[in-house]
A and B are shown apart, each in its own frame.
Chain A
């Protein structure tokens, strides 16, 4: 008699960084179950690069801070292992180098296209770590009401994202959890001594 395989409960991670002009960068990582209920929340104390670091890292500073220093640190603190990592900041995408799970960029409404080049003219562009790497090409796609992008070099992630997406309600708004993270960071910031 074979033992039935225990299906792993899907967990979804949402990672973002808030830039506060006064305090610096706050990272927040929220883990949700498939119903959108919170399982874990991790947030960083503010991180503020000094002048030397700004000079040394140059244009790669954001990617290094957002992705490696804040992103990876937050991921390391989580107990649950997420099957999909979502972010709303391109600079965070470089965390993909350090994890095996697919990392997807959730685009704001109206941004991005079904596929093709990065948004043009007047749209903000991002440079993604590693340093000196060429700007990535993006693969755009949609899941339910969400417009998403993954770097073209890991296009296989698109299929993995789509696969994980099927566990969520069809109208699930992947941008909504970032609102929660921002509110939670603001709340935690107020509570700090």
Chain B
């Protein structure tokens, strides 16, 4: 509609009129839009509102009235980003194999038309302050798109929560992935690392893990990131020194012991490597911040620090403080209350449980099998306890925690087998259960904290084809043991120590787990259980925890429960427990012994 402002016969005009700016009618900045207000609308309240709204009323004739409307002032904030240059990140990487690429993230719908894939957003970490940097994270495409654009395929499609885990790790310089065991922390970490390598943000990474898990990590890297060359630090000192000096190595794997040993090598290097990422597996290994392992790890020059653990708190809040000394030195203090600690670490720790994310995972059926000791066992137990307590009492103020520990271990061993007759209530029950398991063609894992117990079991369970996996089995042979257990139908049981078999292994083909004796803290027991109850398990996992009545085992069990409460307090915001774990006081109380005054001081 084009009309000049000078026309005066427009009683019915109600629309917006765009007019050329005329002379000096308008102040600077000139208004652009005018509206002709017909006489019919020139009610006082309308005109008043126009004036209050800073519109200019201009008399243009006897009938209509022109209203000049100031132009809106729109202020704009601009952000510009560097265009990412995938995949030329600076490291020559072979193209993923066709089979992997074929399995890239494709929708699984039967609709022939392409569909929108699931979306996992990358969030900015809380410690990123600058708005530009925060927006740089927020405005990135969903993780699925980033993975797809680099043709980074997967041998199996990850779960949605695993994408979330990757999206959590990917932007963070300090992070703990603390998922419950069996949820695929390894795969999530490898993929996040893989993504950073392909983007050129990581050119030199170091993975540190327990010695027993080095071959497991190698295997997982071959599986999830076959294009990433992996160098395992091993061999004699000269060879290791050479391996540390090698340039252009995208990923090194070292075990904790080697790292401690090689501190001297690092100090002798003219230019010690600065890692773009240091990833700790089973990071509870550095919970003691005064220990040599913690100091060796913390001395590494690095840009990103990630930690993986299913048990960030094993005993006390100090464990978490110890891990954070590696992630963000000084961020946490051991004096913090559990609830405040939980709030502070919220942005750094991602913890999911199977219940939360795997509704369709077959159930974990845990049964506490409380047993009476056999009469000879009971007699031996009473004798040992009475003598032990008398001995401790006689020691008076000279009694130490070591003395108490010795008695605890002695009593726990009697709960396993009577030293005089070899009788065992636990064994009788285990044997009966294994009969059924073997008959149905299933497999079972039996955990104990003592190799001697495992060897005794192996001897007595020979007809079930037992395999042994503990500290006395050389590490190079351990993979073969697991393979035989998986592939040989005549092998129905594997006997494992908590130390050697409790972490990193995938044994989801075993549907039965027996805890022949109990470890000192529940986190280690959970790790053991989760060797079987993890992604890929095809049916319910039955866990039997043996507990002998009216013994030291029962008393320790109460303390373990309190430790679980502590964990929940930090990571679930529940009320704090009365006690924080197995303290020295607790150990003395196991035998109603007063703690010596000098030690209490």
B33 at the interface (CB under 8 A from A): yes
Contacts of B50 in A (CB 8 A): 52, 55-56
Contact call A56/B72, Cβ cutoff below 8 A:
no
- Expressed in whole angstroms, the Cα–Cα distance for A56 and B107 within the complex equals 50
B100 to chain A, nearest CB (A): 18
- Enumerate chain A residues within 8 angstroms of B51, measured Cβ to Cβ: 52
A39-47, A117-125, A149-157 - interface stretch: A39-47
Contact (Cβ within 8 A) A35 B114: no
**B136 in the interface, Cβ–Cβ < 8 Å?**
yes
How close is A62's CB to chain B, nearest CB, in angstroms?
13
Residues of chain B from 117 to 133 with CB closer than 8 A to chain A in the complex:
117, 119, 121, 124, 131
Which of chain A's residues have a CB closer than 8 A to the CB of B390? Answer: none
> Chain B nearest CB: distance from A84 CB in Å?
17
Q: Taking the complex as formed, is B328 at the interface, i.e. its CB lies under 8 A from any CB of chain A?
A: no
Closest residue of chain A to B72 (Cβ to Cβ) is A69
Q: Chain A CB within 10 Å — which of B54, B114, B149 has the most?
A: B114
Cβ-defined contact, A191 with B76, below 8 A = no
B383 contacts chain A at the CB level, 8 A cutoff: no
Given contacts A169-B149, A173-B116, A180-B139, contact A40 B131 (CB under 8 A): no
Total A-B residue contacts, Cβ distance less than 8 Å: 156
B597 beta carbon closer than 8 Å to chain A: no
Q: Is the CB of A42 within 8 A of B77?
A: yes
Interface size class of A (residues with CB under 8 A): 35 or more
A41 touches B74 (CB 8 A): no
**Bound complex: CA of A60 vs CA of B16, how far in Å?**
8
- CB interface residues, A 51-68, toward B, < 8 Å: 51-53, 55-58, 60, 64-65
Q: Is A6 an interface residue (CB 8 A)?
A: no
- Bound-complex Cα distance A145 to B113 (A): 7
Chain B nearest Cβ from A178, distance in angstroms: 12
Question: B269 within 8 Å of A by Cβ?
Answer: no
Q: Does A2 contact B (CB under 8 A)?
A: no
The chain A residue sitting closest to B86, CB to CB, is A35
Contact A57 B16 (CB under 8 A): yes
Can you list, as one digit per residue, whether each of A164-184 has a CB less than 8 Å from chain B (1) or not (0)? 000001111101100110011
Cβ of A10 < 8 Å from any Cβ of B?
no
Determine whether the beta carbon of B140 is less than 8 Å from that of A52: no
- Contact flags (1/0) for B98-114 with A, using CB distance below 8 Å? 00000000010000011
18 contacts between A and B (CB under 8 A): A35-B84, A36-B141, A37-B140, A37-B141, A42-B78, A45-B77, A52-B53, A56-B16, A56-B67, A57-B69, A65-B72, A77-B78, A132-B16, A144-B114, A169-B145, A176-B116, A179-B121, A187-B138
B interface vs A, CB < 8 Å?
1, 14-16, 33, 35, 46, 49-55, 67, 69, 71-72, 74-81, 83-84, 86, 107, 113-117, 119, 121, 124, 131, 134-136, 138-142, 145, 148-149
In the A-B complex, the 3 residue pairs with the closest CB atoms? A52-B53, A36-B141, A38-B139
